[in-house]
Amino acid sequence: MNCLQSWPEPIVRVQSLAESGITAIPDLYIKPPTKRPSLLPANCNQAEVEVNIPVIDLQNLLSQEESLRETTLRSISSACREWGFFQVVNHGVSEELMKRARDTWREFFGLPLDVKQEYSNKPSTYEGYGSRLGVEKGAILDWSDYYFLHYMPASLRNHSKWPALPSSCRKLIEEYSEATVRLCGTLMKLLSQNLGLEEDQLLNAFGGEENIGACLRVNFYPKCPQPDLTLGLSEHSDPGGLTLLLPDENVAGLQVRKGQNWVTVKPVPNAFIVNIGDQMQVLSNAIYKSVEHRVIVNSVKDRVSLALFYNPKSDLLIQPAKKLVTKDRPALYAPMTFDQYRLFIRTKGPCGKAQVESLKSYE
């Protein structure tokens, strides 16, 4: 991990740049023309612009009507296969907690720079206040800052690496992470059942409830004077298992790949956005899709989002579940630990689906 000891260039906080009043962004943030957040591709029609990722009401799983429960399970199944993304409502996490989480983190990013700098992160663990992903010298950077921390396993939970200010922050992180990890556990069971596996099989492949990895990345996307030239977060698929995203309630920004197009997610009030990560694509032998996504920025409003990453225990080998490997559909991926796997994004930064595709051993 030697290459991950330090950043290759001095860190510049994007928020400080944005607040300095610049009217043109530095070259370091200007994406090549093919990577910019383009206007509609010529062959894209209005219907595609209107499209949204599926929205699923989890309350229906408690219905007395079996047909409603089955329809809901089927909607989750097709969302995992066709979109890799969906929104969930009536998920059991309180609206008050969701609002408090956004407000608390907005408050953190609103603190003076020197307070936040105390938590500056390093690429060896990424824990703390950060402004880049990847350690490639000269890389074009994204227009965002973030805070990254570990919640699970409990042995990695270190309160001194969580912000002490605002004073409610550490308690909020505990509460929010506990609630979202619980929801991810429920989703894991549904996804497992939908694949025809035992309810706990995916969870067990991740190491079981006590051993899974869970980390929180809070993204802060400052206003940008030239949003057409850059991205808040470059296209990538998530390296882990499952991501539960609390988007900004007022500002859209997340775009999900659908074929040749990028669909801008329209967040539904009080919903979480769920997406399949690369480890789940591997475990499901590519039945579930880990889909590329990116974030666009704008010149009018800052945006905050909280991504809870639910991951396998980092030293377990992850490979396609035996039941999903057949003569007609051989194992598409060789076994690999999550520790080995995430070294790629930690070194190279967000790079589309380059890694999971490069691991395919058949097809």
Query: What are the residues binding ligand AKG (CB under 6 A)?
Result: 217, 219, 233, 238, 245, 247, 253-254, 293, 295, 305, 307
For ligand AKG, the closer of residues 197 and 233 by Cβ is 233
Alpha-carbon distance values, 19 to 143, 279, 302 (Å)? 13, 38, 11
Closest distance to ligand AKG from the beta carbon of 361 (Å): 26
Residue 33 is classified by DSSP as G
For the chain, first and last CA: distance in Å?
Answer: 32
Closest distance to ligand AKG from the beta carbon of 350 (Å): 8
For ligand AKG, the closer of residues 101 and 195 by Cβ is 101
Closest distance to ligand AKG from the beta carbon of 93 (Å): 17
For ligand AKG, the closer of residues 202 and 265 by Cβ is 265
How many Å apart are CA 90 and CA 242, to the nearest integer? 19
Closest distance to ligand AKG from the beta carbon of 352 (Å): 13
φ, ψ for residue 31 (rounded to 5)? -75, 155
For ligand AKG, the closer of residues 116 and 217 by Cβ is 217
Alpha-carbon distance values, 129 to 15, 92, 217 (Å)? 12, 30, 10
Give the pair of three-digit tokens for residue 168.
């409610």
Residue 274 in 3-state DSSP? strand
Please report where in the chains the tokens 């396993």 appear, as a residue: 153
For ligand AKG, the closer of residues 35 and 189 by Cβ is 35
For ligand AKG, the closer of residues 91 and 217 by Cβ is 217
Closest distance to ligand AKG from the beta carbon of 32 (Å): 20
Closest distance to ligand AKG from the beta carbon of 238 (Å): 6
Closest CA to 295 of 305, 281, 282: 305
How many Å apart are CA 301 and CA 223, to the nearest integer? 5
Closest distance to ligand AKG from the beta carbon of 62 (Å): 29
How many Å apart are CA 183 and CA 172, to the nearest integer? 17
Closest CA to 217 of 280, 131, 301: 131
For ligand AKG, the closer of residues 211 and 255 by Cβ is 255
